[in-house]
Structure 1
């Protein structure tokens, strides 16, 4: 028997609220299945399990807020005795799914008595508006409340059905406090060192323009995918920048999961992971990047995307910032920052000419690497960016 515990969905998380069980006792689960929705200051997170077996006891009730590490449920292994099954309430008939529905809803399990099924985005909006989900008729699978249901019904909900004064869902103030606490801890405990270099983006921009000219508009590549792939490949030469420092021990990661810093529309920041970046094509990265940004801004991230980034990329160029020297997000040991591409004087072949130049920075942990190794990484990054056709 193993325990499924409240995960730490980032270094700034100390507790979470269980807002929905996606399983019931007796259900079979496998690694990667979404079993619960957990609400943090960064929104509702679909939380996966990484065990295989049968759900035993659900130890935390919907609506409870518990610290990180609290046992939420027990999982009985496949070779163990079959778990007892609690009686479930009578299932409601599934309403036909609207063709216009665009938000994700997991497959509907048998409903648990007293629990209103809803997508994370719908639950978040209802919480922000102070509305009770019980007063909204769901049109999703199994009668689940969808985001469209909340948007459509919000103006007609009576004051009597609204939740009293509790603030749920995304809380910018709480997020800012959480980020500040994590960054203060990072600066206090991690001996940072900082390096930067300038990269000539002429070849990268020319190749990208020619490549996109051959593509349909919907298939074109964003400039960010090139440095994403280049930094992941450069880590092969300096692998000590890719991994986790926990309990005075560095554990190198075999795969490169890049945490991409994404600004949220309501304020605040998240940095969920793009998985296995070094092994993906530019087209795959483009698809995954668009999907990640969309889900981050609609409160539909997975727990694995919040817990396993092995290094972070912060792209400040789109805001007009020329340089960034970021703070490492523990337990990671490095962060790469990108500035705005600007035309600068550049010496090439003995001549001074204007070139598009990007400032790239590295913030790294001196307990794991040093400036010499960091310099090798930035040099490798530069060389890869000069051969965009090979990425």
Structure 2
């Protein structure tokens, strides 16, 4: 029996709030499956299971805030049979012949004994006789009715003597299916919130496992707060009572987001203060001629559909990833007073959130992805980061981080290292500048690349090799497309 504990989803996380379970007791879970939704000071994150097995017991209720390392659930060995699943097929193994009996039971309806019944008994009598509980139906028909969820007591048999036939069961099952509301897969928390917000789950598109509706889906589908009443009090109370009027309503509507933003800023402040205090940073920068890369980018976009076009950010991210593979001393972690190289190049991407603050989820194995895949992964990551749909592995295992403020108009950025990583790469805006090539002066697109590195793990010579590799890759863009 293994314990599934509250994971550490970043160096700045001490505790987390369990928002929702995505699985229940008895469910078979596999390594990497999202099993719970956890809220941290910075984001809402889907937490994956760390091993394959059967979820045997949930130890923490949704809504509870617990420290990192607290057991959340118990995971037992994987079993083929789960509670309530496949039980009818595997029950009573000691009597294998019983399972075969229903296949032989169609014979009773062929026995000539039932036909004489209509002679002594009128047609109306069987229906009255069936009231106490006796139903004329063969074993096979009973089995089919049980499988279809049809109550034989409600059927009027069309067979001899009012006997219920297979056709009667099929018709009743079809009628029941046409009137029965569709079953909607939803988590318990989603059902509770749907009842509170009066949201019809059948109208909500689920984004959980097997399209199950989750709490966040219900909240997103809920109608916004209608405010027909507030205008009347505002008009009735002109100027003097107006400061008092909003006070009971406005704080209750805005305090949660304000508290969340404050908590996020405090978490970021604590982590960055520790990073500046504990990590001896050194900084390097270089300016890279982007003419060849931009020409190749424009040519690619001219030949590609709109949905497959690339942004300069994809080229910069790919160059940073390939350079990290070339200079592995900057791709990893500093812990226990020594450097540990990362297993793969997982590039964290700094994403600013709409409500303030930022997160840095990782694009896994970015050095191996083709540019279209990298672009698609980057778009997906940014979207999910801003909607609170990140996964635990995406926020906890980045080996090097890239921050790109070019879209904000910034030309140069020197970042603070995100511990326990040992390097952070910064890119500014691609700008046109006077540039000499082969002794001739012209105007070329250039970008400033910077490196913030941990002096405990490397020195300036290693950092220089890294930035030189970035510049070489961007000036020879064919290497980025391979």
TM-score by length of 1: 0.83
Give the match's secondary structure for 2:442: strand
Q: Normalized per residue, which structure has more helix?
A: 2
The aligned residue for residue 196 of structure 2 is 134
1:27, distance to aligned residue in structure 2 (A): 1.5
| Contact 1:41–1:169 (CA under 8 A) maintained in structure 2 | no
After superposition, where does 1:1-391 map in structure 2 within 5 Å?
Answer: 1-78=1-78, 108=185, 111-112=187-188, 115-117=189-191, 134-139=196-201, 140=204, 146-147=217-218, 150-152=221-223, 154-155=225-226, 167=256, 171-391=260-480
1:331, distance to aligned residue in structure 2 (A): 1.1
Q: 2-side partners of 1:361 and 1:149: how far apart?
A: 39
Q: Normalized per residue, which structure has more strand?
A: 1
| Contact 2:199–2:222 (CA under 8 A) maintained in structure 1 | no
Q: Deviation digits for residues 339-362 of structure 1, max 9, x if unmatched?
A: 112222222212222221111000
Q: 2-side partners of 1:245 and 1:83: how far apart?
A: 43
1:56, distance to aligned residue in structure 2 (A): 2.5
| Contact 1:116–1:134 (CA under 8 A) maintained in structure 2 | no
| Contact 1:37–1:47 (CA under 8 A) maintained in structure 2 | yes
Q: 2-side partners of 1:277 and 1:342: how far apart?
A: 26
The aligned residue for residue 101 of structure 1 is none
CA distance 1:186–1:26, change in 2 (3 Å): same
CA distance 1:164–1:224, change in 2 (3 Å): closer
Bigger radius of gyration, 1 or 2? 2
The aligned residue for residue 116 of structure 2 is none
Give the match's secondary structure for 1:288: helix
Q: 1-side partners of 2:200 and 2:266: how far apart?
A: 35
TM-score by length of 2: 0.68
Structure 2 unaligned spans of 5+: 85-179, 207-211, 231-250
Q: 1-side partners of 2:30 and 2:224: how far apart?
A: 36
Q: 1-side partners of 2:181 and 2:319: how far apart?
A: 47
1:151, distance to aligned residue in structure 2 (A): 3.7
| Contact 1:17–1:64 (CA under 8 A) maintained in structure 2 | yes
| Contact 2:433–2:445 (CA under 8 A) maintained in structure 1 | yes
Q: 1-side partners of 2:283 and 2:75: how far apart?
A: 44
| Contact 1:316–1:340 (CA under 8 A) maintained in structure 2 | yes
Q: 1-side partners of 2:313 and 2:365: how far apart?
A: 16
Structure 1 unaligned spans of 5+: 86-92, 98-107, 124-131
Q: Deviation digits for residues 251-304 of structure 1, max 9, x if unmatched?
A: 211311111111111111111111110111001001111111111111111111
Structure with greater contact order relative to length (CA < 8 Å, sep ≥ 6): 1
